Structure 1
Amino acid sequence: MAPVFGSLSRRQLLQLGAAAGLLAACRPADGPELLQVEGELPAAWLKQLPGPWRARALANPAAVQRAGFAAGRPGPGLVSLSDGWASGLGRERLQSFGAPRLWARLAPFSAGVSGLFGPAGSGELAFPWAYSPWVIALRSRPDLVARRLQGWSLLLDPSLRGRLVLPSAPRISLEIVKGDFGQLERLRAQALAYDDRDGLNLLLSGNAEVAVLPLQRLIPLLRRDQRLAVIWPDSGAPLSWQLLLRPAAPQDFEPTPPPLEWLGAVLEPPLLEPLLATGWVPPLPQAVLEPVARRFPASMAALLLPGDALLGRCWSLPPLSLPEQLAQQNLWDAAAPRP
């Protein structure tokens, strides 16, 4: 029997080959992809990612954002970003997870970030798998720890001038002082550096005595370094979030369903205990977390399980409008220390 393509011209064959190549390029070669910043997803959780899903790590959030949301071509099935990076994405670049039962397991304080602070009923555009408050980390300062009830005002203690590390993002410092210009001036005069990425190294090396850092980075160290102490101010703290997002699929491209069973695994044993031990705290109701958190030393358990009252005084950070950004930048610049 003659080949099926026997009557096709060479030109038609080339056209068919090109079309097949385009179709192949639109499909992930090895299954759907989860794109993340290197080291930002817990290894124990990643190991459970089901096939044919595969994880790929890039060096920083900017690279993940560029690769995950490139225009005009199919992106990865899931993208891992913090709320600060995710809030800069237009809602049209995302698709809903469509899994209300999974989101119903989360505590109410995660609702705003689940919808990326959009109107109620707009769907779950982000899976907030972990949160972390910004807290005060102290090294060998028992005198300040004894005054922990003073909360954020401890950062203005005269002994900390040139010994304090503040976050890289000015917004966190502005949130801490509630936009008070006088306090912001005093706070900026205290700063040794604005560097939350290397702030922990500055603290551990003794170059700084206090740093404002995400709690997640401190939890693994508290058992090993008795010089460290953490204060979560009773007045509350700004929260940072770790999110998984679904990039919107191009028109006429079938989106990959999210691995819902894998997503849910981060909210329950056996993953929950190792996650808490490394500082990753899912936004579950406190009653759900309590049996696991109580297995840790009391000082750690108090940080992992702060209680609904304290959580109710904490706040997430919605994206700012352009006028709000300009106003904050002007306030920040005006409060800079004078030579």
Structure 2
Amino acid sequence: MALLSAPLSRRRLLQLGLGAGLLAACRPAEGPQLLLAEGELPAAWLKQLPDPWRSQQLADPAAVQQQLQVVVQQGVQHTAQPRVQPGAQPGLVALSDGWASGLGSGLASGLGPKVLQPFGAPRLWARLAPFSAEVARLFGSVGAGELAFPWAYSPWVIALRSRSDLLARRQEGWALLLDPSLRGRLVLPSSPRISLEIVKGDFAQLERLRAQALAYDERDGLNLLLSGKADAAVLPLQRLIPLLRRDQRLAVIWPESGAPLSWQLLLRPAASPPQQPPLEWLGAVLEPPLLEQLLARGWVPPLPQAQLAPMARRFPAAMAALLLPGDALLQRCWSLPPLSLAQQLAQQNLWDAAAPRS
């Protein structure tokens, strides 16, 4: 008792505090984990993630893909000494379909029933519009279970800065990118596949398109556009919606011929801890009040157009037309399945052959 009642010195208290901190750091955090890249999920939605779930944010999508690849390898190999400790195995992974929009898609080709587990919530997926179904199956056969929750989509569109002359010719669609005035003033996506998709693999048009490019970089492409170094850029619509209200120089063309779609997905690795996904939280993204907040930030869930209409019409007309494009235009858009190795090589050869000659 004498030892317990003796006063502790300030140094001893600090030592005990440091020791407790180290012990806490060594203990695995409780609860299943949502793995994501910074900015890949809307903050308003992420804040609603229920206990005992917690989030781990990595620097960029590449870091998330790298960690998911480790988890995928665990699920396939069932190694005795896993490279990711059990406490760090994610129960959910947020990932854009950038894994499918590059020429390389090694991770995508490895995703499937062997390394992912279905969500087992058909009523939730039944709320989504039909054009999301193949993405939810990760392009598996019709009737296969849903291996991904495609909570938002975004078309690749043409963004213009102070080019009312080109905007007036919007009916020309993707052909506008070949206008002589855009030579050296156009930013194309870093993924060659997007450029190949918008010219439908036409070699002559691809040559002309590549001759127009100032840069291939959608991440900094918006900065090049806003600074006036570029007049046009091919960008995901999601990044443009928040800017349209406050920058009158910007305009967006969603070509009537259709556009490739990018997707935001949630995946459930098979090697993850045995924890049911937070279905209530997943469903919250599809209804008010969260849905309206997401639309204002450009995140559009693939809900039936009639369901989105009441909220989309609260925005300015030009923005509402982008958030609510209509079923006819959406039917002319397409998603990007993973490529086989032979397809990757063929596209790479086409891309390289179309490079501008010095």
TM value normalised by structure 2: 0.85
CA distance in 2, matches of 1:278, 1:159: 31
1:320 equivalent among 336, 339, 344: 339
* Partner in structure 1 of residue 111 of structure 2: 90
Secondary structure of 1:243's partner? strand
CA distance in 1, matches of 2:90, 2:28: 8
* Partner in structure 2 of residue 262 of structure 1: 281
- Greater Cα offset, 325-334 or 82-91: 82-91
1:282 equivalent among 301, 306, 313: 301
CA distance in 1, matches of 2:237, 2:30: 36
Query: Do the aligned residues in 1 keep the contact of 2:34 with 2:94 (CA within 8 Å)?
Result: yes
CA distance in 1, matches of 2:95, 2:129: 20
* Matched ranges for 1:197-276 at <5 A: 197-249=219-271, 255-276=274-295
CA distance in 1, matches of 2:165, 2:111: 47
1:80 equivalent among 70, 94, 106: 94
Q: Residues 190-213 of structure 1: CA distance to partner in whole angstroms, max 9, x if unpaired?
A: 000000010000000000000000
1:187 paired with 2:209, answer: yes
Query: Do the aligned residues in 2 keep the contact of 1:151 with 1:232 (CA within 8 Å)?
Result: yes
When the two structures are aligned, how many residues end up with a matched partner?
A: 310
Query: In the TM superposition, what is the alpha-carbon distance from 1:122 to its structure 2 partner?
Result: 1.8
Letter in 2 for 1:94: L
Q: Residues 295-327 of structure 1: CA distance to partner in whole angstroms, max 9, x if unpaired?
A: 000000000000000000000000011010000
Secondary structure of 1:137's partner? strand
Letter in 1 for 2:39: G
* Partner in structure 2 of residue 7 of structure 1: none
Secondary structure of 1:87's partner? helix
1:53 paired with 2:17, answer: no
CA distance in 2, matches of 1:296, 1:191: 33
1:295 paired with 2:314, answer: yes
Query: Do the aligned residues in 1 keep the contact of 2:153 with 2:264 (CA within 8 Å)?
Result: yes
CA distance in 1, matches of 2:258, 2:134: 17
Query: Do the aligned residues in 1 keep the contact of 2:186 with 2:212 (CA within 8 Å)?
Result: yes
Query: In the TM superposition, what is the alpha-carbon distance from 1:88 to its structure 2 partner?
Result: 4.2
Q: Residues 253-305 of structure 1: CA distance to partner in whole angstroms, max 9, x if unpaired?
A: x5110000000000000101110000000000000000000000000000000
Secondary structure of 2:240's partner? helix
What's the % identity of the aligned pairs? Answer: 81
* Matched ranges for 1:119-138 at <5 A: 119-138=141-160
CA distance in 2, matches of 1:204, 1:267: 32
Secondary structure of 1:93's partner? coil
Secondary structure of 2:299's partner? coil
* Partner in structure 2 of residue 31 of structure 1: 31
Query: Do the aligned residues in 2 keep the contact of 1:69 with 1:93 (CA within 8 Å)?
Result: no
Letter in 2 for 1:63: A
Query: Do the aligned residues in 1 keep the contact of 2:97 with 2:265 (CA within 8 Å)?
Result: yes
Letter in 1 for 2:29: A
Query: Do the aligned residues in 2 keep the contact of 1:35 with 1:56 (CA within 8 Å)?
Result: yes
CA distance in 2, matches of 1:181, 1:223: 38
Q: Residues 35-94 of structure 1: CA distance to partner in whole angstroms, max 9, x if unpaired?
A: 001011000000110001011100112211222342235421100001132634431211
Query: Do the aligned residues in 2 keep the contact of 1:69 with 1:247 (CA within 8 Å)?
Result: no
Structure 1 stretches lacking a partner, 5+ long: 1-26
Distance change in 2, residues 1:83/1:33 (3 Å): same
2:123 equivalent among 86, 89, 101: 101
Query: In the TM superposition, what is the alpha-carbon distance from 1:163 to its structure 2 partner?
Result: 0.1
Query: In the TM superposition, what is the alpha-carbon distance from 1:186 to its structure 2 partner?
Result: 0.3
Query: In the TM superposition, what is the alpha-carbon distance from 1:119 to its structure 2 partner?
Result: 1.1
Secondary structure of 2:330's partner? helix
Query: Do the aligned residues in 2 keep the contact of 1:107 with 1:284 (CA within 8 Å)?
Result: yes
CA distance in 2, matches of 1:69, 1:48: 27
* Partner in structure 1 of residue 42 of structure 2: 42
Q: Residues 124-156 of structure 1: CA distance to partner in whole angstroms, max 9, x if unpaired?
A: 100000000000000000000000000000000
Letter in 1 for 2:203: F
CA distance in 1, matches of 2:336, 2:327: 19
